[in-house]
């Protein structure tokens, strides 16, 4: 077989693998956005079979032959084939040691655990979920044993989401945040300026909130010809290639800002996915490169754009026209200042957000080291919340049960959220050298911002690594100082410190 034939066969093979993964995603989308309850265990079975088929392909002898052959000719490969090879090689080497049958059982466990978590959350009953969570953790630890690790077992999981990320780097990252943001929050709590968002907690119907979602999506250029908005318990985004990138939100009738910022956030994810180059459409590279880079895009739209005075000013009249009487006293300034200290991560303001993530990071580090007692986790959660944020969640629904991630086996994912914040602040700093970001927002010109992001991030999909992307833009690796400066500037002004 000549090289061109090998490349063609390799691409056909990865296309098939990608299609299986997309089928699993489609089942997942359907389950989360409203499939009949009675069918869930059957769907879980199909998902288990399809996932283990895709997983089997990623570690097969055939894949091994492709990797060996292509590696021999690495200097003759174009960038796209090289990136595909890098991705397949990484998956192959990290997963080949996990027995297929154990992986199948794990995937089935995960497919069923979502419902158990949902019920436990709804009924505020951690014990109902503890056994399943413990089983998931035991699988994660066992898989790391199979896969091996460098320095710290948690590094193996971190690297799955953010290639190159380690406990060593994150300890420095969160250490700096702890040194600066925790004291800043204490100064805010002692300040005479008191901001909250209680005046926003008025009834706004689901229908009106849906209309607001559409105003936002149109405003920031989320293409609904290649996208879709539905409702789910936990807002998320998912994609089936660049031409079908979907999002969900959840409407809470006395808290319109919850959905407002969820839509901004999830649409930010989807816009990233929609702007990849055509050359990689519907291939294994037709995804975001890492969860940290993904979160940087969602955070950019949610925070840098969505929580800016200029953005709120540009939509204020339209939104107020929709919400009607209940919120008639909310001025633009009040809308901008609607900052709240909340026990719920997804509704957190920009300042405390990273502290929510720090709670999870520290817990995951211990859990994955095997250093945990499943029954103590809710207590530890609450203690850390009190120490860093000064709040104790009222109950476990508002505490340890709030996030879907652990029930999906997504340990190692949470740090991505804080990394996303840090990347987005670093991106903003460099974007401002090329364009006037605030003027763009003011002038309804989000397109110029998206073009910059497309040129530097979006178009590459998974072709370039996170470190390459950020270094190309800024000449340095991820640096948390940009985020700290952004938060200090914004919050010392807001609170007049
Ligand atoms: Zn996100």
Is it the case that residue 3 has pLDDT exceeding 90? Answer: yes
DSSP-derived secondary structure letter, 330: -
Say what the pLDDT of residue 295 is.
Answer: 95
Say what the pLDDT of residue 198 is.
Answer: 87
Q: Across residues 108-129, what is the average pLDDT?
A: 94
Is it the case that residue 340 has pLDDT exceeding 80? Answer: no
Torsion of CA 62, 68, 74, 78, to 10 degrees: 0
Under a CB-based contact definition with an 8 Å cutoff, are residues 441 and 171 in contact? no
Say what the pLDDT of residue 242 is.
Answer: 97
266 belongs to the catalytic site: yes
Which is catalytic among the residues 266, 295, 302, 350?
A: 266
**pLDDT: which is higher, 324 or 9:** 9
- Measured in angstroms, how far is the CA atom of residue 260 from the centroid of ligand 1? 14
Q: Across residues 164-175, what is the average pLDDT?
A: 96
pLDDT digits (tens, 9 = 90+) for 244-301: 999 999 999 999 999 999 999 999 999 999 999 999 999 999 999 999 999 999 999 9
CA triplet 416, 418, 419: central angle to 5 degrees? 60
> What's phi and psi for 227, nearest 5 deg?
-155, 180
pLDDT digits (tens, 9 = 90+) for 459-487: 999 999 999 999 999 999 999 999 999 99
Say what the pLDDT of residue 438 is.
Answer: 96
**pLDDT: which is higher, 233 or 262:** 262
Q: Across residues 324-329, what is the average pLDDT?
A: 86
- Measured in angstroms, how far is the CA atom of residue 295 from the centroid of ligand 1? 5
- Helix then strand count (H, E) for the chain reads 20, 3
Under a CB-based contact definition with an 8 Å cutoff, are residues 418 and 353 in contact? yes
- Measured in angstroms, how far is the CA atom of residue 46 from the centroid of ligand 1? 27
Distance (Å, rounded) from C-alpha 176 to C-alpha 480?
8
Say what the pLDDT of residue 364 is.
Answer: 98
Q: Across residues 23-31, what is the average pLDDT?
A: 94
pLDDT digits (tens, 9 = 90+) for 47-68: 989 988 998 999 999 999 999 9
- Measured in angstroms, how far is the CA atom of residue 365 from the centroid of ligand 1? 21
Q: What is the band of 324 on the pLDDT scale with cuts at 50, 70, 90? A: confident
Say what the pLDDT of residue 338 is.
Answer: 84
Say what the pLDDT of residue 131 is.
Answer: 98
User: What are residue 363's DSSP bridge partners?
Assistant: none
The H-assigned helical ranges of 393-445 are 415-434, 437-442
Distance (Å, rounded) from C-alpha 205 to C-alpha 323?
8
Say what the pLDDT of residue 424 is.
Answer: 97
- Measured in angstroms, how far is the CA atom of residue 437 from the centroid of ligand 1? 22
Token pair 């405003």: residue? 219
- Measured in angstroms, how far is the CA atom of residue 221 from the centroid of ligand 1? 18
Under a CB-based contact definition with an 8 Å cutoff, are residues 290 and 161 in contact? yes
pLDDT digits (tens, 9 = 90+) for 367-395: 999 999 999 999 999 999 999 999 999 99
Say what the pLDDT of residue 50 is.
Answer: 94
Under a CB-based contact definition with an 8 Å cutoff, are residues 245 and 25 in contact? no
Say what the pLDDT of residue 349 is.
Answer: 86
- Measured in angstroms, how far is the CA atom of residue 426 from the centroid of ligand 1? 18
Q: Which of 143-157, 188-202, 337-351 has the lowest mean pLDDT?
A: 337-351
Is it the case that residue 39 has pLDDT exceeding 80? Answer: yes
Closest residue by Cα to residue 178 from 41, 326, 358, 360:
358
Say what the pLDDT of residue 48 is.
Answer: 85
The H-assigned helical ranges of 123-255 are 127-147, 153-161, 167-190, 206-220
Say what the pLDDT of residue 413 is.
Answer: 95
């Amino acid at each position: 077989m000549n090289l061109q034939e090998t490349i063609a066969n390799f691409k056909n093979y990865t296309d098939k693998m990608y299609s299986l993964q997309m089928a699993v995603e489609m089942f997942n989308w359907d389950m989360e956005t409203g499939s009949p309850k009675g069918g869930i265990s059957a769907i879980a079975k199909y998902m288990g079979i399809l996932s283990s088929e895709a997983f089997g392909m990623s570690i097969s002898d055939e894949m091994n032959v492709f990797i060996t052959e292509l590696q021999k000719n690495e200097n003759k490969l174009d960038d796209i084939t090289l990136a595909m090879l890098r991705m397949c090689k990484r998956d192959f080497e990290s997963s080949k040691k996990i027995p297929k049958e154990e992986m199948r059982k794990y995937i089935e466990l995960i497919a069923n655990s979502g419902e158990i978590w949902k019920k436990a959350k709804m009924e505020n009953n951690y014990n109902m979920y503890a056994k399943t969570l413990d089983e998931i953790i035991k699988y994660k630890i066992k898989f790391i044993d199979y896969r091996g690790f460098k320095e710290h077992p948690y590094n193996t999981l971190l690297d799955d989401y953010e290639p190159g990320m380690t406990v060593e780097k994150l300890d420095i990252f969160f250490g700096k945040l702890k040194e600066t943001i925790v004291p800043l929050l204490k100064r805010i709590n002692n300040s005479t300026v008191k901001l909250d968002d209680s005046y926003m907690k008025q009834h706004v119907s689901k229908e009106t909130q849906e209309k607001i979602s559409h105003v936002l999506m149109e405003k920031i250029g989320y293409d609904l010809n290649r996208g879709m908005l539905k409702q789910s318990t936990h807002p998320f985004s998912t994609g089936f290639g660049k031409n079908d990138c979907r999002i969900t939100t959840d409407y809470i009738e006395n808290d319109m800002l919850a959905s407002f910022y969820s839509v901004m956030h999830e649409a930010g994810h989807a816009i990233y996915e929609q702007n990849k180059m055509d050359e990689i459409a519907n291939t294994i590279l037709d995804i975001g490169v890492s969860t940290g880079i993904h979160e940087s895009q969602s955070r950019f739209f949610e925070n840098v754009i969505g929580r800016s005075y200029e953005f709120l000013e540009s939509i204020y009249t339209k939104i107020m026209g929709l919400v009607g009487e209940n919120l008639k006293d909310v001025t633009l300034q009040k809308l901008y200042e609607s900052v709240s200290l909340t026990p719920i991560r997804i509704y957190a303001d920009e300042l405390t957000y990273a502290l929510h993530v720090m709670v999870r990071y520290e817990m995951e580090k211990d859990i994955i080291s095997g250093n945990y007692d499943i029954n103590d986790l809710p207590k530890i959660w609450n203690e850390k919340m009190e120490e860093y944020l000064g709040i104790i969640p009222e109950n476990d629904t508002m505490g340890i049960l709030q996030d879907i991630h652990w029930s999906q086996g997504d340990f190692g994912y949470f740090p991505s959220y804080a990394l996303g914040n840090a990347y987005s602040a670093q991106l903003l700093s460099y974007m401002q050298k090329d364009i006037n970001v605030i003027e763009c927002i003011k002038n309804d010109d989000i397109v110029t911002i998206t073009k910059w992001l497309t040129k530097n991030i979006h178009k590459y999909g998974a072709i370039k690594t996170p470190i390459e992307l950020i270094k190309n833009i800024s000449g340095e690796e991820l640096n948390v100082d940009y985020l700290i400066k952004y938060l200090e500037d914004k919050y010392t002004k807001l609170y007049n410190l």
